[in-house]
Amino acid sequence: MRLWNLSWFLFFDSLLVISGLQTPESFDIDGGIDQDIFDINEGLGLDLFEGDIRLDGVQDRNSIIGENYRWPHTIPYVLEDSLEMNAKGVILNAFERYRLKTCIDFKPWTGEANYISVFKGSGCWSSVGNRHVGRQELSIGANCDRIATIQHEFLHALGFWHEQSRSDRDDYVRIIWERIQSGKEHNFNTYDDKVSDSLNVPYDYTSVMHYSKTAFRNGTEPTIVTRISDFEDVIGQRMDFSDYDLLKLNRLYNCSSSLSFMDSCDFELENVCGMIQGSGDNTDWQRISRAPGGPESDHSNMGQCQGSGFFMHFDSSSVNMGATAVLESRMLYPKRGFQCLQFYLYNSGSGSDQLNIYIREYSADNVNGSLNLVEELKDIPTGNWQLYHVTLKVTNKFRVVFEGHRGSGASLGGLSIDDINLSETRCPHHIWHIRNFTQLIGSPEGILYSPAFYSSKGYAFQIHLNLSHLTDAGIYFHLISGANDDQLQWPCPWQQATMTLLDQNPDIRQRMSNQRSVTTDPFMTTDNGSYFWDRPSKVGTVAFFPNGTEFRRGRGYGTSTFITHERLKSRNFIKGNDVFILLTVEDISHLNSTQDPSVPTPGIKDLCSEITCQNDGICAVQDDKAVCRCPVGEDWWYMGERCEKRGSTRDTIVIAVSSTVTVFALMLIITLVSVYCTRKKYRQRTSSNAVNKTLENEYAF
């Protein structure tokens, strides 16, 4: 961000509320309809079991009882060329959610006996469990490229059925049979606990595997009514795993920890998560629930829970300028080599107070650790909790060090930190902080534009959030004219924008954030034949920043049904009347296996285009050479440069037996010949000795 954000853009680092201006026409990828998985598949005329499950003819409901149909903890996969580019990027993001919250990992297929082939089929569907068929298909078709939809289908592949098919379903929801489409009633069957295991987890209204209330309806009335009315609009969420989804998955696969999670701390316990005070500083951080100069409460609970709600506070009003307070995390052990540190920070002190983030890294050569400055947070806004992300790249064991530094000027309070999370994931590139949010919901004033941001490639963009609709919030991605446009490639190729409405739960593992991704397709055209993602100065409309500076804004691309207002008011999306939207725009052109003729990359040759792997082999580049990864099964395999030869255990046994017999026969022949030759030689020697003996006797006479 520091590379591209020029000073005239930083001037607008506040919420832009633009009204009374002509806004560019936005393209709604959902057509104004919030379609669930089952709506998509039904619209395509698919008749799948329970709407999105593919049965193989021998599968029954007890197939996941026991370990026979479980996958290994690391699942091989192939992203087929048929997939849309946006879907490929979202699938990889979904894998990161699995890594963050479970012990399930995914790796590109390299010839393992069984693997998941993700392709663009008709609709969104999967088989249940590991079917041991070699190549197991999972379809992410058109409009299925939502992260929770992909999580849902992979949960099927991992061995899970829908939540409402549990044996105890009727204790929690009522099925209104007369409202179900004729012939679809079987999709609402339940199965007893002898054939479907709930893993001793309570019924989950919030499960990502639950039908929505409108599933398979024949009119406008719901087919599922929750016995607790508060959950009527909760069932069918497609945001993220619920806590019980994770509990079941981790129990089924015996997960004791997740892969990329490292630490989370809300300071509710007196041991402050094992953090330690520095010894060479001037004062200590204090664990308190309220600071005289602010904040009035912690960020975790916002003062809603009496007797709880703590944070760490550096009182800069009680020390002189230049004084410091140091707080260090417990020892941490990285595995991936990159980390994201996230925390909330409140400044009630001087505007010149700052927070420095260090890493104390340990090695064999430095057992006491070397201290390295990573980030200096200056000009911290005062009066409210701010969200920060800091990217780390640590490979040895380490501690995170928070150093509060007293600046110049008067201070009535200090710096406070809360809700720290550390994970081995990528940090978002930007944060859009929206204050006084609730008054904008459903209001004509709820048409918001973010500040101008820059992607890592240098493209300038804005996010448009539309809260003015009565029931749904919309979100759109716009390219805008920027300082680097003369040096950039147009139409903009394969930049994936991921927009995440943050669930501000203190623990990153328990968040159910709402996310949507869109990707710039350089071949996409508008009705008048121009390229949709062409240079904004060419295809955009005139817009103005609040100070009157003119710029060009391209058409928006997103959805008018990003989230309902009801869901928006649930969980911790809004906290202290603040909302945070996390933004990442990254280049995913490397996921496009076909070289684009209009977006050339000089000097790069597609090595795999020169060879064809037979028998479902996969081409891979190794040591700058295209090689075929050949499929293998439990008792068969393919081999050869192009996977053109087939081998099997039976063939090996036959070859081994034949070779043994041949060797035995050869050895027998050699032995017989050797015996024959030895005996013949012996006889000749014996005969010669007899003749010599006779001659000796004759001469003796």
In a domain? residue 671: no
In a domain? residue 8: no
Among 448, 440, 461, 441, smallest CA distance to 518 is for 461
Q: Are residues 134 and 249 located together in one domain of the fold?
A: yes
Q: Which tens digit of pLDDT belongs to each residue from 316-351?
A: 999 999 999 999 999 999 999 999 999 999 999 999
The boundaries of the domain holding residue 569 are 431-591
Query: Does the pLDDT at position 699 exceed 50?
Result: no
Q: What is the pLDDT of residue 74?
A: 97
Q: Are residues 201 and 282 located together in one domain of the fold?
A: no
| Interatomic CA distance for residues 143 and 561, integer angstroms | 13
pLDDT confidence of 664, banded at 50, 70, 90?
Answer: confident
Among 208, 271, 204, smallest CA distance to 236 is for 208
Q: Which of 215, 234, 253 is the last residue of a domain?
A: 253
Cis check for the bond before 295: say yes or no (omega within 30 of 0): yes
Q: Are residues 218 and 274 located together in one domain of the fold?
A: no
pLDDT average, residue stretch 15-37:
68
pTM, rounded to two decimals:
0.83
| Interatomic CA distance for residues 57 and 559, integer angstroms | 38
| Interatomic CA distance for residues 493 and 489, integer angstroms | 7
Among 429, 463, 460, 452, smallest CA distance to 586 is for 429
pLDDT average, residue stretch 139-153:
97
In a domain? residue 655: no
| Interatomic CA distance for residues 414 and 488, integer angstroms | 44
Q: Which tens digit of pLDDT belongs to each residue from 616-652?
A: 665 554 555 666 766 655 455 567 777 777 776 666 5
SS in 3 state form for 226-249? ECCHHHCCCCCCCCCCCHHHHHHH
In a domain? residue 106: yes
Q: Are residues 393 and 441 located together in one domain of the fold?
A: no
Q: What is the pLDDT of residue 332?
A: 98
Q: Are residues 543 and 641 located together in one domain of the fold?
A: no
| Interatomic CA distance for residues 415 and 315, integer angstroms | 7
Q: Which residues contact 443 (CB under 8 A, 6 or more apart)?
A: 467, 468
Q: Are residues 183 and 268 located together in one domain of the fold?
A: no
In a domain? residue 40: yes
How many Cβ atoms are within 10 Å of 169's Cβ, its own excluded? 19
pLDDT average, residue stretch 371-376:
98
Would you name the residues annotated as active-site residues?
153
Tell which wins on pLDDT, 135 or 198: 135
pLDDT average, residue stretch 553-574:
96
| Interatomic CA distance for residues 166 and 152, integer angstroms | 17
Binding region for Zn(2+): 52, 152, 156, 162
Q: Are residues 157 and 205 located together in one domain of the fold?
A: yes
Say which CATH number the domain at 292 has.
Answer: 2.60.120.200
Q: Are residues 266 and 354 located together in one domain of the fold?
A: yes
Q: Are residues 127 and 271 located together in one domain of the fold?
A: no
The burial class, CB within 10 Å (0-12 / 13-18 / 19+), for 213 is buried
pLDDT average, residue stretch 497-508:
98
Among 647, 650, 649, 652, smallest CA distance to 637 is for 647
Instruction: Work out whether the CA dihedral 165, 171, 174, 177 comes out positive or negative.
Output: positive
pLDDT average, residue stretch 355-376:
96
pLDDT, averaged across the chain? 87
Range scoring the smallest mean pLDDT among 52-56, 180-184, 192-196, 304-308? 192-196
Q: Which of 227, 253, 279 is the last residue of a domain?
A: 253
Q: Which of 253, 284, 315 is the last residue of a domain?
A: 253
Total tally of structural domains belonging to the chain: 4
Q: What is the pLDDT of residue 17?
A: 38
Binding region: 52, 152, 156, 162
Instruction: Work out whether the CA dihedral 54, 60, 62, 64 comes out positive or negative.
Output: negative
Q: Are residues 300 and 373 located together in one domain of the fold?
A: yes
How many Cβ atoms are within 10 Å of 454's Cβ, its own excluded? 22
Query: Does the pLDDT at position 677 exceed 90?
Result: no
In a domain? residue 15: no
Q: Which residues pair with 138 in a beta bridge?
A: 118, 126
How many Cβ atoms are within 10 Å of 70's Cβ, its own excluded? 15
